[in-house]
């Protein structure tokens, strides 16, 4: 894939987040990585989506130095870079402040897996990070967000749990491709809404049983998945 093509892919993903109602104003960003070249393409910071163009997407190297582009990259670039370094199977990352997922993040609560709709996408609860310290916020803030996410995944497979809530901040999702990361962002917002309504209706609802969770997740994911057309 050429760099120009990758910029178009990243533009279209960012615009899709707006069309799907996951991004309000300029509250979000999407990026993709070309691991062979060691380049990440991400949206520019603060540019209105209605005027955004593919040539405005910014290419940075894995350390964050701008390789191509005249605009400043998203302020969340450092977070994306930490995740790309730590999660080698990730090809695209999405960050939004979508309403329902952000409600759970602001409360500092993981999203329980109450049913099979959630289990089809995420292998258990959607985790939440620890809150950042004053020192982390005063220092390299965006990098610290990424490092908090990586710490939360010390004993978790990021491809089985491709969504996380940064405490008091908002959700991040990822996937093998940027398209999959966008799909996971959509799924996350819907299961966050379902979970909130579930606890409103029946506060003592238990999480889904592990046997049903595993059945639903593995029928869509993994080597023996049978959902969809083979």
What's the start-to-end Cα distance of the chain, in Å?
25
Per-residue burial over 119-158, b if 16 or more Cβ lie within 10 Å, else e, is: bebbbbbbbbbeebeeeeeeeeebbbbbbbbbebbeeeeb
Establish whether 76 is a catalytic residue.
Answer: no
Q: In what order do the strands lie in the sheet with 28-34?
A: 66-68, 58-61, 39-42, 28-34, 92-96, 170-175, 163-166
Establish whether 120 is a catalytic residue.
Answer: yes
Active-site hit among 34, 120, 141, 153: 120
Catalytic center residues: 120, 227
């Amino acid at each position: 894939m050429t760099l120009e093509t990758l910029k178009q892919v990243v533009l279209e993903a960012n615009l899709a987040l707006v069309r799907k109602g996951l991004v309000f104003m300029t509250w979000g960003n999407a990026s993709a990585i070309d691991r062979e070249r060691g380049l990440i393409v991400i949206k520019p910071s603060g540019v209105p989506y209605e005027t955004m163009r593919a040539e405005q997407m910014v290419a940075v190297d894995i350390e964050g130095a701008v390789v191509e582009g005249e605009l400043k990259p998203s302020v969340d670039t450092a977070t994306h870079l930490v995740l790309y370094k730590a999660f080698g199977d990730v090809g695209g990352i999405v960050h939004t402040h979508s309403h329902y997922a952000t409600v759970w993040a602001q409360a500092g609560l993981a999203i329980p897996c109450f049913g099979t709709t959630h289990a089809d996408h995420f292998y258990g609860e959607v985790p939440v990070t620890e809150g950042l310290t004053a020192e982390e916020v005063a220092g390299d803030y965006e990098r610290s967000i990424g490092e908090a996410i990586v710490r939360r995944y010390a004993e978790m497979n990021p491809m089985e749990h491709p969504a996380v809530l940064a405490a008091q901040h908002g959700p991040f999702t990822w996937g093998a491709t940027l398209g999959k990361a966008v799909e996971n962002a959509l799924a996350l917002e819907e299961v966050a809404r379902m979970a909130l309504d579930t606890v409103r209706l029946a506060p003592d609802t238990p999480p889904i049983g592990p046997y049903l969770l595993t059945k639903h997740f593995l029928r869509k994911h993994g080597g023996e998945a049978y959902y969809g057309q083979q």
